[in-house]
Amino acid sequence: MRCIVLFFGVLLGLATRQASAQTAGLITTGRILRPSLALDQLLTRDARIEVVATGFAHIEGPVWVPDSSMLLFSDTPTRTIYRWSAQKGLSKFLTNTGYTGRLPYSQEPGSNGLALDDHGNLLLCEHGDRRIAMLPLTGKSGKRTLTDNYQGKRYNSPNDVIVHPTNGSIYFTDPPFGLPQQDKDPLRETKVSGVYRVTATGNVSLEVAELSKANGLALAPDNRTLYVSNADSLRPVLMAYPVLADGKLGKGRVFFNMTKLSKVRAKEVPDGLKVDRSGNVWATGPGGVVVLSPQGKHLGTIDPGAVVANCAWGDDGHSLYLMVGSSLCRVKTLALGTPSW
């Protein structure tokens, strides 16, 4: 196992190598920590973390496309969106995406979070262009801007996005991570790193302004709670906000404070997260992917040996794909993931 972990460490360092798929005889890496026996109901004792593909710069924002049985994810520094499927392996889906201006711009100019709406459109958080864009996955239409400002002030760098399946609201976060100098950048027009909502009619509202670095988003199985991660090492919390009947968000509460966990690696803060159909929360943070019960109890941690930026359910809903720096990993679960919206 020590040799495997060391080999995986080498793979994670190959940020400039051409991405390649590992589709057969997958190597495994890392470990799964089990502080609670309840984790056995979600992950078998012999569950392993598989390395599916490697050689990226820094991958983020995954979404599973059920109609095509493929995973889409962003390589933010290289402005590339990749697709991966068990049948066809790895290929480029979109290039030169996320920023259409003159380079260099920032360390992460490309797209980040991706989501699907109920009309077959791909929603993209585009760091460099500082907007939420929409791309039909069917037909010949190109990308268009869904929103790029709030009350005349340009967004920082939209990071994650999710669509409510019943009220049609699109929620997205807007920390400054994609700006050249991040929170100190002179291009910054708003000091808020908030959670915004785009209604079905196109109106935009600021729903959450209290978080210093709002980041990842996930909806509870009943769609009545929106979880939001705060990617701030000084206040690394997961918040829970009630989704009201009109789509607005109510008063939030701390769902889980990640200062309770030991920090394993530098730069490990709450980032992307997903929820399974039983309401368990699978959130990136200290040690990897932290698995939490619906009541906020720490059940276990999936640790691939490096910082995990995000995750997404895929395949038949029993696979959790992990964005691990320069590598795409996967772990098979007993838990059934919620659909991608």
What is the C-alpha separation between 154 and 192, in angstroms, rounded?
11
Q: Which residues pair with 29 in a beta bridge?
A: 49
| Phi/psi of residue 223, nearest 5 degrees | 65, 20
Q: Rg of the chain's alpha carbons, rounded to an integer?
A: 18
What distances in angstroms separate CA 295 from CA 229, 279, 283, 334, one per listed residue?
16, 9, 14, 19
What is the C-alpha separation between 169 and 135, in angstroms, rounded?
17
Other CB atoms within 10 A of residue 75 CB: 27
pLDDT of residue 340: 66
Q: Residue 318 is encoded by which pair of tokens?
A: 């029993």
Q: Residue 81 is encoded by which pair of tokens?
A: 């969106």
Instruction: Output DSSP code: residue 212.
Output: S
| DSSP H or E segment with residue 9 | helix 2-12
191 Cβ neighbours under 8 A, 6+ residues apart: none
Among 192, 194, 229, 189, which residue's Cα sits nearest to residue 208?
A: 194
What is the C-alpha separation between 114 and 33, in angstroms, rounded?
29
The string of DSSP codes covering 221-259 is: TTS-EEEEEE--TTS-EEEEEEB-TTS-B---EEEEEGG
Q: What are the residue boundaries of the structural domains of the chain, listed by start?
A: 2-332
Other CB atoms within 10 A of residue 211 CB: 22
What is the C-alpha separation between 285 and 273, in angstroms, rounded?
9
What is the C-alpha separation between 254 and 179, in angstroms, rounded?
28
Instruction: Output DSSP code: residue 196.
Output: E
| Phi/psi of residue 38, nearest 5 degrees | -65, -20
CATH topology of domain 2-332: Neuraminidase (2.120.10)
Report whether the peptide linkage leading into residue 104 is cis, meaning its omega lies within 30 degrees of zero.
Answer: yes
Q: What is the pLDDT along the chain (341 residues), one digit of tens a residue?
A: 333 333 344 444 433 333 444 444 689 999 999 999 999 999 999 999 999 999 999 999 999 999 899 999 999 999 999 999 999 999 999 999 999 999 999 999 999 999 999 888 999 999 999 999 999 988 667 899 999 999 999 999 999 999 999 989 999 999 999 999 999 999 999 999 999 999 989 999 999 999 999 999 999 999 999 999 999 999 999 999 999 999 999 999 999 999 999 889 988 999 999 999 999 999 999 999 999 999 999 999 999 999 999 999 999 999 999 999 999 999 999 999 998 65
The string of DSSP codes covering 120-189 is: SEEEEEETTTTEEEEEESSSS---EEEE-EETTEEPS----EEE-TTT--EEEE--STTSTTGGG-TT--
pLDDT of residue 120: 85
pLDDT of residue 6: 37
Among 83, 99, 100, which residue's Cα sits nearest to residue 91?
A: 83
Instruction: Output DSSP code: residue 263.
Output: P
